[in-house]
């Protein structure tokens, strides 16, 4: 059995877990451990045998190993590697192959002898696969066994490509990929339909034989599966739970991936905590939802039975705590997201003055505004504020080619109808050229500049229609078309200076009292996060010079995917059934994103359904906590500048 955790705070954890502030420091630590193994073996004149993984997770480990090679003389001459897996079928020179990945991310930059590199072969004929798998196992044994095995974790809980249902003693074999795994890979392949259905993977049993196993996970997207893998029961449903049976395993996490472990998420259950106001609010909301009681009905016994006895002794009785938290939640609710004029605003989320505010909603893609905060957007316009919207990127990546064909046909027909024959002929030429390109287009092939422009125009028209439905005058609708968005299609490391300058200019023009922005921080390279960073930097710089910034509040909405947890919400804007309907109509204006957007992510629901589910869930939770029962609620958190 794995080492038992004797410390109180980690008593829910069934494997050793180390948490680092971020993935850079964690990756450096892992790289150093690998370097130590390589050096120790070198001194003894032996080979180091490394089990390697692909995917986003180990990239920084490989970067650090390359740095150690280039700057500190770490040699890979005595290294033999075995990769965990490869898609099947897969040509080694394909962009998505794990051979290409490993060469690009590690092998091409170090002095490893390529004859010592082993990656499962995706080109085998079906009747050769079993023999290959057996030989792969034998080759690992003949090399002396794996000194260390690196693992990532899939959201299905897979390690390697050992999907749910895998046996603990499984060896290297061919497997069928889970649907969620294929969806997660769909971006790299330009659509799920292009992701192979099978893979060759080392088995759980193969991984177990390694002398040291390190499972790494970064970002919030992994938090849920990490909680199950670390604290859940061992089950073939989550193959990573098998690692609880190993004596040689360590989970290395960043804070975001560890955030749902009990010691971080519900620390009062794990240890004696210091009760801060934020923690009290979180715990009370959790308790009420957990035992399904409105806050005002929680008793001392309820608190005592759920790790909160000390809280009741220190600040109780329950009645006092209940009233305090109930009032705090009550004060987040407002039908006046721009502030209610001429009333006492001391207990309201927004200022009463100025009664008429300059407001700007920043929307990373052209539909995030209406999807995420459409109801609030409508209220702000209805309540007479001077509301602007800024579409930060053109969103052209998410438009289908057949929409381009449709619009070109329309443009050509229109030109013909009005007798603009030269223009019609020009459009016809573009039409023929682009159709020929589309006919042989490979997944993920970057569009011509013209097609990118047409796709951007399609989304522009939809965004204008949406914003007009909300009630904005045309002059308040701004298309930033930030340059980083297209630039990133060609290069990884791009500068954002012109994006920041452009954003500063717009802010100076509007001089907003309220800025609304998408606060999605989970995906550090995602468009939402980049857009937020640009906006934040623009505001930060302006705060040093421009007087109006002193009276400017920044409100965050959570983007298209998730909602803020109840205890974090600082402004809850209730929507009536009619407002929900108007919001739906605004979302419908984004026709190119309806039915089946190019990148639907891992949620098959249409955007308007997702938006309505999310806001009615928040409303239902307020109701369960004993507050008023609304049709829907949109939630916001205020960003405070320090």
Summarize as ranges the residues that interact with ligand F6R (CB under 6 A).
53-57, 84-85, 152-154, 158-161
Question: How many CA atoms lie less than 13 Å away from 502 in the CB half-sphere?
Answer: 17
Token pair of 11 as six digits: 């008593």
Pick between residue 354 and residue 524 the one whose CB is nearest to ligand F6R.
524
Smallest distance from the beta carbon of 347 to ligand F6R, in angstroms?
44
Minimum CB–partner distance for residue 154 and ligand F6R (Å): 4
Q: How far is CA 111 from CA 75, 93, 511, 544, in A?
A: 6, 20, 56, 50
Q: Provide φ and ψ at 235, rounded to 5°.
A: -160, 145
> Encoding tokens for residue 630?
């609304």
Taking the C-alpha atoms of 245, 246, 252 and 253 in order, what is their torsion angle to the nearest 10 degrees?
-10
Bridge partners, 19 (sequence order):
253
Residue closer to ligand F6R by CB (options 85, 147) is: 85
* H or E element that contains 362: strand 358-363
Query: Quick one: 112 or 470, whose CB is closer to ligand F6R?
Result: 112
Minimum CB–partner distance for residue 260 and ligand F6R (Å):
16
Count other C-beta atoms under 10 Å from residue 377's C-beta. 31
Closer CB to ligand F6R, 20 or 496, in the complex: 20
Rounded Cα distance between 564 and 601, Å, is: 19
Residue 200 or 573 with smaller CB distance to ligand F6R: 200
Is 594 in contact with 606 (CB distance < 8 Å)? yes
C-beta nearest to ligand F6R: residue: 152
**148 or 477: whose CB is closer to ligand F6R?**
148
Rounded to 5 degrees, what angle do the CA atoms 360, 365, 368 make? 65
By DSSP bridging, strand 632-639 and strand 571-575 are antiparallel
Of 60 and 583, CB closest to ligand F6R: 60
For ligand F6R, give the closer residue by CB, 105 or 593.
105
Counting DSSP H helices and E strands in the chain, the numbers are 24, 17
Categorise residue 165: left if φ over 0, alpha if ψ from -120 to 50, beta otherwise: left
**Nearest distance in Å: CB 156, ligand F6R:** 8
Least Å distance, CB 601 to ligand F6R, is 15
Tokens for 439, please give them. Answer: 């006919």
Query: Which H or E run contains 632?
Result: strand 632-639
- Please give the Cα distance from 296 to 288 (Å, whole number): 9
Q: Judge whether 375 and 615 are in contact, CB under 8 Å.
A: yes
Cβ proximity to ligand F6R, 56 vs 522, nearer residue: 56
Angle at alpha carbon of residue 427, lines to 422 and 432, rounded to 5°: 125
Shortest distance, position 150 Cβ to ligand F6R, whole Å: 8
**CB proximity list for 381: less than 8 A, separation 6 or greater:** 387, 470, 471, 472
Query: Phi/psi at 136 (nearest 5 deg)?
Result: -60, -45
Nearer to ligand F6R, 54 or 81 (CB): 54
Q: What is the end-to-end Cα distance of the chain in Å, rounded? A: 48
Residues carrying an active site annotation? 85, 158, 163
Q: Is 117 helix (H, G, I), strand (E, B) or coil?
A: strand
Bond prior to 354 in cis (omega within 30° of 0): yes
State which residue, 154 or 559, has the beta carbon closest to ligand F6R.
154
CA distance 428 to 288: 64
SS3 73: coil
CB of 158 to ligand F6R, least distance (A): 5
Q: How far is the CB of 230 from ligand F6R (least distance, A)?
A: 16
Q: Which long-range contacts (CB under 8 A, 24 or more apart) does 305-310 make?
A: 306/268, 306/269, 307/266, 307/268, 307/269, 307/270, 308/268, 308/283, 310/272, 310/275
As measured in angstroms, the least distance from the Cβ of 265 to ligand F6R is 21
Q: What share of the chain is helix, strand, coil (3-state, %, to 5)?
A: 50, 15, 35
- Report whether 392 contacts 361 (CB < 8 A): no
Question: In angstroms, what is the minimal distance from the CB of 82 to ligand F6R?
Answer: 11
- What is the nearest approach in angstroms of ligand F6R to the Cβ of residue 74? 22
């Amino acid at each position: 059995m794995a080492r038992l955790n004797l410390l109180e705070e980690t008593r829910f954890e069934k494997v050793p877990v180390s948490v680092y502030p971020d993935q850079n420091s964690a990756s450096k630590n892992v790289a150093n451990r690998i370097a130590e193994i390589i050096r120790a073996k070198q001194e003894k004149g032996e080979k180091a045998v490394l089990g390697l993984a692909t995917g986003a997770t180990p990239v920084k480990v490989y970067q650090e190993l390359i740095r150690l090679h280039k700057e500190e003389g770490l040699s890979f001459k005595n290294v033999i590697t075995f990769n965990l897996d490869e898609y099947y079928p897969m040509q080694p020179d394909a962009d998505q192959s794990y051979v290409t990945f490993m060469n690009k991310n590690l092998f091409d930059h170090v002095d490893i002898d390529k004859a010592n590199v082993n990656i499962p072969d995706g080109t085998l004929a079906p009747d050769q696969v079993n023999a290959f798998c057996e030989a792969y196992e034998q080759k690992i044994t003949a090399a002396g066994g794996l000194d260390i095995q690196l693992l990532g974790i899939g959201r299905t809980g897979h390690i390697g490509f050992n999907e749910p249902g895998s046996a603990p003693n499984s060896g290297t074999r061919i497997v069928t990929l889970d649907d969620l795994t294929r969806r997660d890979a769909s971006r790299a392949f330009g659509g799920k339909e292009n992701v192979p259905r099978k893979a060759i993977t080392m088995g759980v049993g193969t991984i177990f034989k390694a002398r040291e196993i390190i499972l790494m996970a970064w970002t919030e997207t992994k938090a849920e599966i990490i909680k199950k893998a670390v604290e859940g029961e061992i089950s073939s449903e989550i193959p990573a739970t098998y690692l609880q049976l190993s004596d040689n395993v360590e989970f290395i996490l960043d804070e975001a991936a560890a955030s749902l472990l009990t010691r971080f998420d519900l620390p009062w259950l794990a240890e004696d905590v210091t009760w801060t106001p934020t923690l009290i609010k979180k715990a009370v909301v959790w308790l009420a939802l957990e035992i399904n009681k409105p806050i005002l009905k929680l008793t001392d016994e309820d608190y005592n039975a759920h790790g909160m006895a000390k809280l009741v002794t220190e600040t109780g009785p329950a009645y006092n705590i209940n009233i305090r938290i109930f009032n705090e939640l009550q004060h987040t609710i407002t039908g006046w997201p721009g502030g209610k004029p001429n009333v006492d605003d001391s207990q309201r989320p927004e200022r009463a003055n100025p009664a008429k505010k300059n407001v700007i909603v920043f929307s990373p893609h052209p539909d995030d505004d209406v999807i995420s905060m459409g109801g609030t957007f409508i209220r702000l316009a209805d309540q007479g504020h001077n509301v602007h919207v800024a579409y930060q990127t053109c969103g052209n990546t998410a438009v289908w080619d057949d929409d381009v064909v449709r619009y070109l046909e329309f443009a050509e027909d229109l030109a013909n109808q009005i007798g603009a024959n030269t223009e019609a002929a020009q459009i016809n030429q573009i039409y023929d050229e682009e159709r020929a390109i589309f006919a042989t287009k490979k997944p993920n092939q970057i569009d011509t500049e013209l097609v990118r422009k047409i796709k951007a125009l399609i989304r522009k028209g939809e965004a204008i229609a949406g914003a007009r439905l909300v009630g904005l005058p045309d002059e308040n609708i701004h298309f930033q078309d930030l340059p980083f968005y297209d630039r990133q299609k060609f290069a990884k490391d791009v500068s954002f200076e012109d994006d920041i300058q452009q954003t500063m200019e717009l802010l100076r023009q509007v001089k907003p009292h309220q800025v609304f922005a998408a606060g999605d921080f989970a995906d550090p390279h995602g468009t939402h996060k980049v857009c937020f960073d640009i906006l934040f930097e623009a505001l930060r710089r302006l705060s040093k010079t421009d007087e109006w910034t002193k009276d400017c509040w920044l409100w965050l909405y959570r983007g298209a995917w998730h909602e803020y947890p109840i205890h974090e919400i600082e402004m809850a804007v209730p929507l009536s059934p009619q407002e929900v309907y108007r919001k739906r109509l605004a979302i419908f204006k984004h026709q190119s994103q309806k039915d089946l957007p190019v990148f639907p992510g891992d949620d098959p629901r249409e955007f308007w359904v997702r938006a309505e589910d999310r806001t009615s869930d928040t409303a239902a939770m307020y109701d369960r906590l004993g507050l008023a029962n609304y049709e829907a609620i949109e939630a916001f958190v205020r960003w405070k500048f320090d």
